[in-house]
Amino acid sequence: MAVTPKVQERVDALRALLHHHAHRYYVLDAPELPDAEYDKLFQELQALEAVQPELLTPDSPTQRVGGQTLDGFAKVRHQVPMLSIRTETDIEASGAQAFDARVRKELGLAEDAPPVEYVAELKFDGLAINLRYENGVLVQAATRGDGEIGEDVTQNIRTIGQIPLRLPKDAPPVLEVRGEVYMGRADFDKLNEIQRAKIDAGAKNEKTFVNPRNAAAGAVRQLDPAIARQRPLSFFAYGWGEVSPADQGGPDFHSHYEALLTLRSWGFPVSARTQIAKGAPELIAFHQAVGKERDDLPFDIDGVVYKVNSFALQRQLGFVTREPRWAVAHKYPAQEQLTRVLGIDVQVGRTGKLTPVARLDPVFVGGTTVSNATLHNLFELRRKGARIGDTVVVRRAGDVIPEVVGVVAAARPAYVPNFRMPRACPVCGSAVVREKGEVNHRCSGGLFCGAQRKQAILHYAQRRALDIEGLGEKLVDQLVEGNAIKVLPDLYRMGLSALAALDRMAEKSAQNVLAALESSKQTTLPRFLYGLGVRHVGEATAKDLARHFGKLDAIMDAGVEQLLEVPDVGPIVAESIHTFFQQPHNREVVEQLRACGVHWEEGEPAARAPQPLAGKTVVLTGTLPTLSREEAKEKLEALGAKVAGSVSKKTDYVVAGAEAGSKLDKAVALGVPVLDEAGLLSLLAS
């Protein structure tokens, strides 16, 4: 069939694109496309070449395994080519059924023949490596490269603790182990934290990494092994290349699974998620089970791999176009896709945090259609360089909120100004603030802002604040969503009929809530201050403020300098308190609560009490004979001690009662003095 100019033009364009993106991905470790987009282009070219074989040329990307060597590394010719395996594009259960059907057909098996035995493995998202051992010693490590020639990265691979440098005596004279170098998710997050700190400190030529695969590949290809050593890399073995034959001391394996178990016995890490699977039903079960676990794994995968277990059957099946007929990669829905930013909005969370959110041209990613993705905060947005109109990489994994992870800067059509955070909250109009050292912007209208309404009510009603029994999360959800409560004072304006009409709220329950609300009107100044939810004002600070000023009005009218006179109140806390009470909305809510009958005793500022335990840290654990935990805490704090929740070397005393747990064990191990109740009372008295 004659090739039309239009088809030839498309084939040429696809090859140029694939060569470009393969170079970015495999050589520069700076991908511009998510894997799913690259796969689409690759599969389109494969389809065109299959329909018209005369289009096929030796330099087509479909005839390469992928990648090229870097000039900075010595070239290594693989004794046994590192070939790729076919990718099953059907991500449903039928993909596993199709593979099994092809295998059975190639083997000439009848319908009633026993099921084929496979090995099911994870498809790690890292960098393929060939490890060569001679006489039990690691002599060379090489990347896949183009499948025939790779790069010598021995010195960098030696820095990976999981890879053995010497094998047991029963290992063959020549052994090439193949596997994946990867970076765990937790290690990747820590690495990016370090990179961000360097960038914030003004370091040049530093960057954050888009994904763990990108970070792992970049580490392996560092010309300086000292840099590679700083990157937390890991390794899984899943195959082999050249191996000494049996008559020269090599193993006589009969199956893939047997070989993997032997590699494990020689000290190589083999994934515990590798298993035998008989026939299509067990392949499907494996694919579905791993799919459910995928987001909880400590490392990234983009699918699973099925391999015929028997080596005799593998030899019978053979290869087609440099791909084994006896193996296939079965993928999952893509977790990354390209789309365009239509706009950037700002969402206000229940704690007042402002989050920039990209409004996207809808795209199907991670199994669902995504039209919005978080940009986290202004600093993260600026690091990524995202602007309206940009083409971006969007990632969604499981139930994780979709996020923009990168920008295709080359696709930006024209200059677009940087996004700026609003000065006023888009929900309530209160001032937007960002504390020194913080990356997040916040709305300062905590008591008034509709976005923070539920959080404000729940905090106000908790036991350590106004202690309104029965006012739990489900009831607050109904009250807020039904617009029965818009601001805190509305709690005290509710009637019995309005409460009793709510779901799962009988008249008796409604009466109990109203009684609890009435009882809460009689409180203390520290409890009321804590209940207002001022950022950075915990119970101890609320007590210090009440003790220092004596009256609420004095606290509300205090300037930053006056607030700094309060013990343990520093510049950030003082600024937070001052900003909160300078918002007219918040002051109005306080006055309305007073008008509803909420009251407390006030007095003159207290004289500075002696603080003999100032600077001391105490941890309480277990049940004391006569003192409650709260009573003991109040007595210690009154004398200046800090009551902490965990034991460390900086802890001065641990007060232990009955059924003390791990905190007591840790105190003993660290040599921290341990007191019983009598010892505590003696300390307080002294």
- Domain 5-64 sits in which CATH superfamily? Helix hairpin bin (1.10.287.610)
Provide the pLDDT for residue 560: 92
Do the beta carbons of residue 93 and residue 287 sit within 8 Å? yes
Looking at residues 186-215, what average pLDDT do you find? 82
pLDDT in tens, 338-391: 899 999 999 988 778 999 999 999 988 877 788 999 998 998 888 888 899 888
pLDDT (tens digit per residue) in 131-154 = 999 998 999 999 998 889 999 999
Q: How far apart are CA 551 and CA 548, in angstroms?
A: 9
For 340-364, the DSSP string reads EEEEEEEEE-TTSEEEEEEEEEEEE
Which residues are catalytically annotated?
123
CA distances from 144 to 16, 79, 276 (A): 22, 12, 27
- pLDDT above 90 (res 639): no
pLDDT score, position 246: 77
Using 50, 70 and 90 to split pLDDT, how confident is the model at 51?
Answer: confident
At 429-450, the pLDDT tens digits run 889 998 877 889 999 887 778 8
The whole-number pLDDT of residue 1 equals 61
Strand pairing partners for 301?
Answer: 124
From 419, 420, 425, select the one nearest 352 (Cα to Cα): 425
Q: Round to whole Å and give the CA distance between 161 and 218.
A: 18
Is the pLDDT higher at 674 or at 446?
A: 674
Are the C-beta atoms of residues 612 and 639 closer than 8 Å to each other?
yes
Token pair in block for residue 316: 């019978």
H or E element, residue 176: strand 174-182
pLDDT at 69 exceeding the cut of 60: no
Average pLDDT over the chain, rounded to whole? 88
Q: Which residues pair with 629 in a beta bridge?
A: none
In the chain, the percentage of residues whose pLDDT exceeds 90 is 42
What is the pLDDT averaged over residues 577-586?
90
- 243 bridge partner residues: 175
Give kind and range of the element (H or E) at residue 98: helix 93-107
Say which CATH topology domain 336-411 has: OB fold (Dihydrolipoamide Acetyltransferase, E2P) (2.40.50)
**Rounded-to-integer distance, Cα 683 and Cα 686, Å:** 5
Domain 468-608 CATH assignment equals 1.10.3720.10: no
Question: Which phi and psi angles does 375 have, rounded to 5°?
Answer: -110, 10
Q: Is the pLDDT of residue 577 over 90?
A: yes
Name the most confidently modeled range: 4-13, 314-323, 523-532: 523-532
In this prediction the pTM is 0.57
Task: List helix spans (H) across 472-565.
Answer: 473-481, 496-500, 507-520, 525-531, 539-549, 552-557, 560-563
**pLDDT of amino acid 269:** 93
Where are the CATH 3.30.470.30 domain residues in the chain? 86-331
Give start-end residues of each CATH 1.10.150.20 domain in the chain. Answer: 468-608
pLDDT of 70 > 60? The answer is no
Q: What are 309-336's pLDDT values in tens digits?
A: 999 999 999 998 778 999 999 988 777 8
CATH 3.30.470.30 matches 86-331: yes
Residues of the chain with CATH 1.10.287.610: 5-64
Structural contact between residues 339 and 392, judged by C-beta atoms closer than 8 angstroms = yes
Q: Considering the chain, what percentage of its residues have pLDDT values greater than 70?
A: 96
Architecture of domain 617-685: 3-Layer(aba) Sandwich (3.40)
Cα separation of 165 and 142, whole Å?
A: 15
